[in-house]
């Protein structure tokens, strides 16, 4: 019976759906996290009676035919890159992107990683780094004798030095954007890598046309909506139960056939 295998594909699809939802809920407090959504496609169809075939010698055409679907399959797990809410932290090294753009960091293998999580810290040498110690690109070093750090909306980093009245410019934050941010490869640790699907990065300065601005002393929260996620999980659970009910019904039908005398 086709219904057994069809329902099995439905159960596997809803299992993946719940896994995606659970990952969203687990990262509800992860800075810069973008929620994901599972998308599915129907499987191949078996033509029992082909659409448009001749139904008589006079040339009459079958208007709809008989096509039996064989189930469902995962198509993609799509990342929704809408802006998350801004949470003020009052930490001068925290930076949030308000609009398009991703911070660039140098990973240990020398490649460039991209992130929306702007929870930066200082290395022992005074370099601006991520919590894992990856330096921000282009490199920015805060002098040891700095008594204050200011980052304006355009990403310019100014420091107040002890004994000096005028602030000193020590670096410029640059950000990158992509034609298809959903095509970035997630590396974990809030980092993404460029792929052929994402397109090449366009690097610019915050505040320029097409780029968002930097907000100092704040971080971008996750864009996970808990109410929507719980609602989606309930719907996925009900869909899983209905597919399991199909298997139970098919099993009962087969048992009745096997007991016929």
Residue 2 has pLDDT above 90, yes or no: no
Rg of the chain over Cα atoms, rounded to whole angstroms, equals 27
Mean pLDDT of 49-57: 79
Residue closest to 191 by CA, chosen among 173, 176, 206: 176
Stretch (H or E) spanning 16: helix 2-26
Distance CA 150, CA 160 (A): 8
| C-alpha neighbours within 13 Å on the C-beta side of residue 206 | 25
Distance CA 247, CA 173 (A): 57
Mean pLDDT of the chain: 91
pLDDT tens digits, one per residue of 220-255: 999 999 999 999 999 999 999 999 999 999 888 888
Mean pLDDT of 114-142: 93
Distance CA 174, CA 104 (A): 7
3-state helix, strand, coil in the chain (%, to 5): 25, 35, 40
Distance CA 177, CA 40 (A): 28
Residue 56 has pLDDT above 80, yes or no: no
More confident residue, 163 or 227: 227
Residue 224 to residues 14, 107, 192, 211, Cα–Cα distance (Å): 20, 27, 18, 23
Q: Are 174 and 102 in contact (CB under 8 A)?
A: no
Range in 3-12, 51-60, 131-140 with the lowest mean pLDDT? 51-60
Mean pLDDT of 8-29: 95
List 203's β-bridge partners, or say none.
Answer: 176
Q: How many CB atoms lie within 10 A of CB 85?
A: 11
More confident residue, 46 or 190: 190
Please report which confidence band the pLDDT of residue 44 belongs to, taking 50, 70 and 90 as the band edges.
Answer: confident
Residue 155 has pLDDT above 90, yes or no: yes
Mean pLDDT of 113-131: 93
Residue 139 has pLDDT above 80, yes or no: yes
Q: What is the DSSP string of 32-71?
A: T---EEEEEEE--EEEEE-TT-B-STT--B-SS-EEEE--
Phi first, then psi, for residue 144 (nearest 5°) are: -65, -35
The reported pLDDT for the residue numbered 46 is 83
The reported pLDDT for the residue numbered 251 is 86
Chain centroid to CA 206: how far? 22
The reported pLDDT for the residue numbered 117 is 93
Please report which confidence band the pLDDT of residue 47 belongs to, taking 50, 70 and 90 as the band edges.
Answer: confident
pLDDT tens digits, one per residue of 185-219: 999 999 999 999 999 999 999 999 889 999 999 99
Distance CA 103, CA 203 (A): 10
Distance CA 207, CA 213 (A): 5
What is the share, in percent, of the chain residues with pLDDT greater than 70?
100
Collapsing DSSP states into helix, strand and coil, what is residue 148? strand
Residue closest to 76 by CA, chosen among 36, 44, 43, 114: 36
Phi first, then psi, for residue 70 (nearest 5°) are: -110, 15
Residue 260 has pLDDT above 80, yes or no: no
What is the share, in percent, of the chain residues with pLDDT greater than 90?
76
Distance CA 244, CA 261 (A): 29
Domain ranges of the chain: 2-81+225-258, 86-220
């Amino acid at each position: 019976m086709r219904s057994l295998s069809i329902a099995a594909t439905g159960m596997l699809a809803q299992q993946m759906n719940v896994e995606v939802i659970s990952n969203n809920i687990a990262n509800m407090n992860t800075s810069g996290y973008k929620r994901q959504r599972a998308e599915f496609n129907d499987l191949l169809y078996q033509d029992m009676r082909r659409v448009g075939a001749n139904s008589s010698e006079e040339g009459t055409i079958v208007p709809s035919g008989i096509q039996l679907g064989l189930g469902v399959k995962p198509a993609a797990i799509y990342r929704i890159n809408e802006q998350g809410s801004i949470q003020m932290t009052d930490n001068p090294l925290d930076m949030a992107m308000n609009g398009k753009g991703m911070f660039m960091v140098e990973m240990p293998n020398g490649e460039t990683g991209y992130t929306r999580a702007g929870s930066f810290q200082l290395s022992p040498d005074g370099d601006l780094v991520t919590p894992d110690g990856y330096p921000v690109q282009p490199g920015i070093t805060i002098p040891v004798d700095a008594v204050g750090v200011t980052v304006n909306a355009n990403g310019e980093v100014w420091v107040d030095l002890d004994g000096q009245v005028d602030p000193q410019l020590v670096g410029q934050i640059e950000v990158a954007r992509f034609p298809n941010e959903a095509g970035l490869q997630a590396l974990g640790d809030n980092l993404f890598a460029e792929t052929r699907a994402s397109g090449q990065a366009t690097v610019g300065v915050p505040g320029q046309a097409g780029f968002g601005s930097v907000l100092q002393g704040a971080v971008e929260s996750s864009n996970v909506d808990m109410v929507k996620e719980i609602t989606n999980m309930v719907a996925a659970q009900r869909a899983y139960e209905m597919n399991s009910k199909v298997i139970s019904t098919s099993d009962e039908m087969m048992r009745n056939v096997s007991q016929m005398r």
